[in-house]
Amino acid sequence: MQLRYFYILCLLLLSLLSGCAQQKKTANVLTSPKDPGTLQKIQPDGISELPTPPPQQLGNQPQQNAQESKIPEFPFSTSPPQQLESQPQQNAQEGKISKSTTDPAPVALTNKQSQQMGFNINSAIVEPLANIKSTQRVQASRQNHPEQKQSTEQKLLNNRIPNQVLKPPTNANFVFRLSLSEAFKRADEKNPVLLAAHRNLDISAAGITIAGVRPNPQLAFQCGFGKVYTVGANPEQVGITQNFEMGGKRSKRISLAKSQYQLTFLQYNSARFDLHGQVRRAYAELAAAEASFRSQQEQIELLERLVYIARKRFEAGAAPEAELLQAQLVLNQTEPQLRQALLRIQEARIQLNALMGDNPNQNVEIDDPGIFNVVTKAVKVVKKTELVPTPDVRLPTINELLARAYEERLDLKAAQQQTAVAQRQLRLAKAQRIPDLQLSGGYLFTTVDPPMKNTNGVYFGAAVNLPIFYNQQGEVAQAKASLDQSQQQENVVQSQIAVDVRAAYQSLLIARETIRKYQSRLLPDSREVLGLAQESYQVGKTNLASAIAVEQADQQNRSAYVDAVTAYQSAYADLEKAVGNQLSF
């Protein structure tokens, strides 16, 4: 009896041990990170799969935790914002790795228990534990780095200017680099205003053909029916009539048409020269806009270095956090200025493309910035460019430019040609007073009934207009008034030439002297003072306000230099327009 109870007890114990082993085996399968395929096989339908990371990431966890809580440091010569921009992505990636690889396996439920409870094993147990562990690591990291409690780096990152703002808008498909001579050529070929002006040459050329026309002869035939012809013997006739212009009207018309063609040609060249002036100004404006944008970028880089120094001083306890936030505020205030510089570039591109007859959205870049690039003591010589000559080039004298303007200015030539046209119009109006001669001749014959006989003969005739009531008095008076007006306009243009050349010459001299001062003293000294101010602030000899004031003064000098070069370019274009031809000196 006792032996029977012993056997039953042994069977119960074996059954219990077998059940425990089976339950332990199921739990190990559910929580083992080495066999994700087994986990996928035993999961019920509707339960999402937990992505298991590679096992080798577990060994790198201590280093990742250290990197996650450490503020990246970089030398002063590097650009701080680029590393600050990459830090959030790195922290996010590190947080993702630590979330899925650093937690020990939790206590697992069996498949039957999870189905009964109606929720995902992984999302209900693994993820909350991972979040708790991640929170604990972040708290431990903040304890090791007390300065992160203020979220200073996060403030700096949240308040930063977006990186895409720091780059001008570009067309990813095509970038067209353009020199000034190429811009002139494209404008000559495609500018719609110039193309319309060129059609006037065709019209004037056709006018020469019209002026040389001769009157066509007239052929007349007269015949009749009835007794008036068969009995009355009225003659029938065929004849020809020709008008002959007297007084040289045709030659004077041709001379007038040729003179008008020359005037049209001068007007076309004047429009072309004015278009080149507009292209030069638009090209220079785009160069100035790009130079201003580069200056704004350099200012941002300087302010970023200033923010970097302020952050280091704050971390070292040498400056309050308010000083760091003030430096960041000054940096953020440059964003509207940078956007304004981008808008200026876009407007200049649209204007230049319109003058060249191209698509306004075409991405044009300046191939020849000229002296818009800032020149310091390290760069003493600037090569000659198509845009404007360097300020150290010798200028012609005012008398030389005046003499050249009186010879080459197109509007003066056009005014003189207009006077010549008026003179030829007066000659033609006087020639119209001479009446034209009309000659005619023909053959006469009769067609009578018998017994009457037919007769025939020839005739000749001549006719002229008698200028009794009107003899071209109005046309002659109008031509004389037009001649007087043309002569007065010629005098006005001559007087205006002297004013334009002298004014543009003086403006050019002042602009050249201003650029020399900026290149020789103001810009190099400003940059040297800026470097000293940043070094002094870095070592604590000066405060942040002084460093910001020096930086703003340097930016004002650079902006003023770009404005001075723009004024020099405008004065140079005005002098070219005053002289009437492109200058080369």
Whether residue 393 sits in one domain with residue 313: yes
The residue with greater pLDDT, 188 or 368, is: 188
Using CB atoms within 10 Å of the CB of residue 436, give its burial: 0 to 12 exposed, 13 to 18 middle, 19+ buried: middle
Phi first, then psi, for residue 221 (nearest 5°) are -135, 130
Q: How far apart are CA 575 and CA 504, in angstroms?
A: 5
Domain range enclosing 332 = 176-190+245-433+472-579
Q: How far apart are CA 95 and CA 81, in angstroms?
A: 22
Helices 180-190, 249-315: inter-axial angle, 10-degree rounding: 140
Whether residue 249 sits in one domain with residue 111: no
pLDDT for residue 178: 85
Whether residue 483 sits in one domain with residue 340: yes
The pLDDT confidence band at residue 366, using thresholds 50, 70 and 90, is confident
Q: Is residue 215 part of a domain?
A: no
Q: How far apart are CA 71 and CA 156, in angstroms?
A: 13
C-alpha closest to that of 571 among 284, 276, 269, 267: 284
Q: Is residue 461 part of a domain?
A: no
Whether residue 495 sits in one domain with residue 363: yes
Whether residue 180 sits in one domain with residue 86: no
Number of domains in the chain: 2
C-alpha closest to that of 271 among 355, 178, 366: 355
Burial 402-432 (b: 16+ CB within 10 A, else e): bebbbeebbbbbbbbbbbbbbbbbbbbbbbb
Phi first, then psi, for residue 10 (nearest 5°) are -65, -40
Q: ∠ CA 450-456-457 to the nearest 5 degrees?
A: 165
Whether residue 73 sits in one domain with residue 110: yes
Q: How far apart are CA 461 and CA 440, in angstroms?
A: 5
CATH number at residue 484: 1.20.1600.10
Mean local confidence (pLDDT), 199-215: 93
Q: Is residue 460 part of a domain?
A: no
Q: Is residue 293 part of a domain?
A: yes
The residue with greater pLDDT, 313 or 387, is: 313
Mean local confidence (pLDDT), 3-17: 67
Q: How far apart are CA 309 and CA 535, in angstroms?
A: 9
Least confident of 265-274, 503-512, 531-540: 531-540
> Which helix or strand (DSSP H or E) is residue 461 part of?
strand 456-464
When the pLDDT of each residue in the chain is averaged and rounded to a whole number, the result is 75
pLDDT for residue 256: 95
pLDDT for residue 172: 41
The pLDDT > 90 percentage for the chain reads 33
pLDDT for residue 544: 86
The pLDDT confidence band at residue 378, using thresholds 50, 70 and 90, is very low
As a whole number of Å, the end-to-end CA separation of the chain is: 131
Q: Is the pLDDT of residue 458 over 80?
A: yes
Residue 327, both tokens: 């430096």
Contact 465, 435 (CB under 8 A): yes
C-alpha closest to that of 504 among 563, 564, 573: 573
Mean local confidence (pLDDT), 13-33: 57
Residues 6 or more apart from 447 whose CB is under 8 A from it? 229, 230, 236, 454
pLDDT tens across 143-185, in order?
Answer: 444 433 333 333 433 444 444 444 444 444 467 788 888 999 9
The pLDDT confidence band at residue 217, using thresholds 50, 70 and 90, is very high
Residue 500, both tokens: 């334009």
pTM of the model: 0.63
